[in-house]
């Protein structure tokens, strides 16, 4: 990880040209805005997966603003890039980004987890912009492999991205799909592991150790890159390098901080699906204020 951070820093510095500075600034502001919205709607709904949504939001930010060829207008086109969120419980992160990209009015999120709302605690296709209904873990990668294989069969150029939690990696279906994706040389497939190191029971390494994760994926025939998953510049750089190796599926091991951006939530297990009190909410929103120069980003 230290080596990865050095690489990230180098990349960061190399990107500080005028244009990239603007992009970086824009993405950083977006991440902060998304974090505020995640907390806003979780606070209103009194439910949600706070810690994981905050850990993965920078990944979704870069994906939807810099990487994916998808928009409300192109969503039904056969050639659009697909994003399937395997860690469906962090749906709040997806919803705030989809709202920002115009898939539905942000005001819809006022109904999050309310009676008869489509905006429930996991992604469903009843919400515009959601590719697949997820929530049970270990489903994103097999479905994504199927979509990626269809692209190869039809000679289409779209790519498929799936976001997995580190806690869901013991699901055997992931490794079934990992084998098949490599077998069919699906280099149009990118899995991103949101490696925040915590799951509901405790540290992931104590619940069921999946390390060395890079070697596992490599041995399954994948091309692997590590990245600081909360650094938008580093994320963009790594996404821009896809596919990491021609003829191999790519996996991005994104080292993230659970609860990232709110000081008292970071790396704290209780925020897995903790809902802030009024006082905690106010402090969190203050830390994430656009007026705060370094609000935890």
Partner 1 sequence: MGNEILKAPIGGTGAANQDVFSATLQELAATDRNIVVVTSDSRGSGKLVPFGKKYPAQIVEVGIAEQNLVGMAAGLASAGKKVFAVSPACFLTARALEQIKNDVAYSNNPVKLIGISAGVSYGALGSTHHSLHDFAVLRAIHNMTIVVPADSFETTQAVQQVAASEQPYYLRFGKKPMPLLDETGETTFQIGKGRVIRRGSDVAIIANGETVFPALQAARKLATENGIEATVVSMHTIKPLDEKLLSELALECKAILTVEEHSVNGGLGEACASWLLKNRYHKPFDILGIPDEYTVTGSQVEILNHYGISESGIASRVKTLLNTLT
The site for partner 1 (CB under 8 A) is made up of 78, 125, 131-136, 138-139, 141-151, 153-154, 172-173, 176-177, 179-180, 183-184
What tokens does 138 get?
Answer: 């270990």
Output the smallest distance, CB 114 to partner 1, in A: 20
Output the smallest distance, CB 78 to partner 1, in A: 6
Task: In whole angstroms, give the CA distance from residue 259 to residue 97.
Answer: 17
Q: Of 134 and 204, which CB lies nearer to partner 1 in the complex structure?
A: 134
Which residues, listed in sequence order, are joined to residue 98 by a DSSP beta bridge? none
Task: In whole angstroms, give the CA distance from residue 107 to residue 184.
Answer: 42
Q: Residues with Cβ < 8 Å from 140, sequence gap 6 or more?
A: 84, 85, 86, 87, 88, 132, 134, 162, 163, 164
What tokens does 203 get?
Answer: 């540290």
Output the smallest distance, CB 261 to partner 1, in A: 31
> Hey, is 142 helix, strand or coil?
helix
Output the smallest distance, CB 132 to partner 1, in A: 5
Check residue 104 and give left, alpha or beta (phi > 0: left; psi -120 to 50: alpha): beta
Cβ(275)–Cβ(281) below 8 Å: no
Q: Of 56 and 145, which CB lies nearer to partner 1 in the complex structure?
A: 145
Cβ(18)–Cβ(226) below 8 Å: no
Cβ(223)–Cβ(251) below 8 Å: yes
Output the smallest distance, CB 175 to partner 1, in A: 9
In 46-86, alpha helices (H): 50-62
Output the smallest distance, CB 149 to partner 1, in A: 6
Output the smallest distance, CB 143 to partner 1, in A: 4
Strands (E) across the chain are located at 82-85, 160-165, 189-195, 198-199, 202-203, 223-228, 250-255
Q: Of 144 and 204, which CB lies nearer to partner 1 in the complex structure?
A: 144
């Amino acid at each position: 990880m230290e080596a990865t951070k050095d690489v990230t820093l180098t990349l960061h510095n190399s990107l500080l040209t005028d244009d990239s500075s603007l992009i970086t600034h824009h993405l950083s502001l977006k991440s902060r805005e998304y974090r505020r919205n995640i907390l806003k709607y979780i606070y209103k709904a009194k439910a949600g997966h706070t810690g994981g949504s905050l850990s993965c939001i920078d990944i979704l930010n870069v994906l939807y603003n810099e990487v994916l060829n998808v928009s409300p207008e192109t969503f039904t086109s056969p050639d659009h890039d697909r994003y399937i969120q395997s860690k469906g419980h962090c749906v709040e992160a997806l919803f705030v980004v989809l709202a920002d990209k115009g898939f539905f009015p942000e005001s819809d999120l006022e109904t999050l987890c309310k009676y008869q709302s489509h905006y429930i605690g996991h992604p469903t296709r009843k919400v515009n912009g959601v590719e697949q209904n997820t929530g049970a873990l270990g489903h994103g990668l097999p479905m994504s492999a199927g979509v990626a294989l269809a692209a190869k069969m039809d000679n289409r150029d779209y790519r498929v991205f799936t976001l997995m939690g580190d806690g869901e990696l013991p699901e055997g279906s992931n490794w079934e799909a990992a084998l098949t994706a490599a077998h069919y040389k699906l280099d149009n497939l990118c899995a991103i592991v949101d490696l925040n190191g915590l799951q509901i029971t405790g540290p992931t390494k104590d619940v069921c150790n999946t390390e060395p994760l890079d070697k596992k994926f490599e041995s399954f025939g994948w091309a692997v890159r590590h990245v600081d998953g909360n650094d938008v510049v580093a994320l963009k750089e790594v996404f821009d390098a896809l596919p990491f190796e021609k003829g191999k599926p790519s996996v991005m091991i994104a080292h993230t901080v659970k609860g990232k951006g709110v000081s008292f939530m970071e790396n704290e297990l209780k925020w897995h699906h903790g809902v802030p009190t009024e006082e905690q909410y106010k402090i969190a929103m203050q830390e994430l204020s656009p007026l705060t120069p370094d609000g935890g980003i």
